[in-house]
Amino acid sequence: MIRPTREHPHWVGTRSITWFRETLQSFDAVIIATNHKDVNYQELGEWCNCIIDTRNAMVGVKTKAGQVWKA
């Protein structure tokens, strides 16, 4: 959950989504903004059709052509 900050008070209380196949597949795209070792990027590659990877987190993960966009 996002805690209070002076710069972005409108985001206070916003929560992350639950890591379920159905939840992730319901989105048009997934953006990787931080590379965390606890995230299962293999599952992400199996479940999501469009992944925007700003941290090169998907390197080494088998994906389909055009599925991962590096930003």
Hey, where are the domains in the chain?
A: 19-70
pLDDT at 37: 93
Percent of the chain with pLDDT over 70: 100
- pLDDT reported for residue 3: 94
Q: pLDDT per residue over 18-52, tens digit each? A: 999 999 999 999 999 999 999 999 999 999 999 99
CA separation, residue 30 to residues 17, 50, 67 (Å): 12, 6, 11
Predicted local confidence at residue 67, as pLDDT: 98
The pLDDT score that the predictor gives to residue 48 is 97
